[in-house]
Amino acid sequence: MSLTVVKGLQSEIFVPVTPKSVWAPVTKPMNEWVVGLATAAGVHLKSQERFNLAGDFTWRKIPNDTPEDQLMVSHGGYDNSDVNKDINCMFPITRIHELAKDGVIKGAAPFHAGFMGGGGNIEKFTNETGPAVAAMFKEEGVDAVIVTAG
Amino acid sequence: MQRAIESVGIPTVIVAALPPVVRQAGTPRAVAPLVPMGANAGAPHDVEMQYNVCKDALQFIAECETPGKIEPLPYEYHAVI
């Protein structure tokens, strides 16, 4: 059987391309990790500027010792009702403190990151927001990051 | 975001409610409890579930050897709408 080959033929079906993989190796045992949190759920301090619900590529630096009742969510892209009841649904800060207390990890990062996912200026996210958050975690000496999004 | 953090040398894991979306975005490592968007780390005030989701997510960083792997987590929460 011979195949019919047409040069330059493309599928009519949109086939998105998955980006090349990125990979950072683990270098220490878990009980020596300082763990950071990055959430796309629109978490920030009540005293900080709210996110623009129509699309916002900025991010907020969240101190590790922030009490739960000083945190809030502004995000127009998902049902906020669970996270409004308990911030740990998307930003499990208290659970990270418990894991540190139990010796599962060494500790929590001094600062975490909140931003508003779900679209917006992807170019800015890729070229500015992402690298800025990564640089903060790098500077803090963070060993692992839990991201909540998607 | 996850890719940016990973590319400076810090291993990450994403806790995802929508595994196909994070696969498409090129996640290095993901865990997927059975949760709705907005409660990725577990049901509100369910300390045990949230604790275990975080612990298993970190454990997955330590164990995962294949970039792009998405590990289902055995926790389930249905939001009542």
How many Cβ atoms sit within 10 Å of the Cβ of residue B55? 18
Mutation choice for A interface testing from B6, B7, B12 by most A CBs within 10 A: B12
- Tens digit of pLDDT for each residue in B54-65? 999 999 999 999
Residue-level pLDDT at A4: 78
- B67 in a structural domain: yes
Residue pair B57/B33 in contact (Cβ under 8 Å)? The answer is no
Per the structure, the complete domain to which residue A35 belongs is given by 30-148
- A61 in a structural domain: yes
- B29 in a structural domain: yes
Residue pair A76/A69 in contact (Cβ under 8 Å)? The answer is no
Residue type, A42: G
pLDDT in tens, chain A (150 residues): 788 788 888 778 887 788 888 999 999 999 999 999 999 999 999 999 999 999 999 999 999 999 999 999 999 899 999 999 999 999 999 999 999 999 999 999 999 999 999 888 999 999 999 999 999 999 999 999 999 998
- A13 in a structural domain: no
Per the structure, the complete domain to which residue B44 belongs is given by 2-76
**Termini Cα distance of chain A:** 45
Chain B residues near residue A41 by CB distance under 8 angstroms: 38, 40
- Report the alpha-carbon distance of residue A116 to residue A130 in Å, rounded: 12
- B41 in a structural domain: yes
Q: How far is A2 from chain B (nearest CA, A)?
A: 34
**Which residues have C-beta within 8 Å of that of residue A53, sequence separation ≥ 6?**
A74, A75, A76, A116
Residue pair B41/B48 in contact (Cβ under 8 Å)? The answer is no
- A112 in a structural domain: yes
- B81 in a structural domain: no
Specify the number of domains making up chain A. Answer: 1
Q: How far is B77 from chain A (nearest CA, A)?
A: 11
